[in-house]
Amino acid sequence: MMRDRLEQRTLDSALVDTLRATSEFDDARRWLEKALQGPMEPLAAEVWAIDHDHVLLVRHHRRGWVPPGGTVELGETPYQAAIRELREETGTWGELSPVPLAVCVRSYRPDLSPTLGLSYAARIDRDLPLVGEEGQPAAWVRLEHDWETVFPEDRDRIRRHARRLRRAGAGG
């Protein structure tokens, strides 16, 4: 999906959420400002669901264990995409923070250009049953476990967020 196929509402929402994000990585704000001036790759959204000492992850066939997420579809905002992807990839739902925890720029496949990814926090009851997509199981993984992923920097980012939750007394 290129910029000319993204609705203005989607682009506006991505820009506002990028500016409001709690943490920025990979110089994402400057990357987005430049990307908005020309052809634009798809946007991505994901969910960081943490319950005390566990994080909800999905086993992707190429990327390893990653937070539930994916491409922002035509007509969606990144926030709406995060809600949809959480439901599709885990069969569960939760209360998502309207302000992203993080924004980053990364390539989700070696043959793709880098794209903007927004990460939203969620509160999810760990007792709810998980129903992953076929061949892509979902599971609660202990935060201290070094899960296999092509984005190892996410482990530390997610762990830092979990520590902030514990300090704030939110617990997850």
* Strand pairing class (102-106; 23-24): parallel
102: domain CATH number is 3.90.79.10
Residue 3 has pLDDT above 70, yes or no: no
The CA distance from 27 to 66, in Å, is: 21
Token output for 67: 């937070």
Please calculate the CA angle 122-125-129 and round it to the nearest 5 degrees.
115
Q: Which domain holds residue 148?
A: 3-168
Per-residue pLDDT at 78: 95
- Cβ-contact 61, 97 below 8 angstroms: no
Token output for 32: 């987005």
DSSP state of 55: E
- Cβ-contact 67, 81 below 8 angstroms: no
Residue 41 has pLDDT above 90, yes or no: no
Rounded to a whole number, what is the distance in angstroms from the first to the last CA of the chain?
35
For residues 170 and 161, the model is more confident at: 161
pTM beyond cutoff 0.85 = yes
Residue 71 has pLDDT above 60, yes or no: yes
Count of structural domains, the chain: 1
For residues 48 and 52, the model is more confident at: 48
Residue 95 has pLDDT above 80, yes or no: yes
Token output for 102: 């993080």
Q: In DSSP terms, which residues pair with 15 in a beta bridge?
A: none
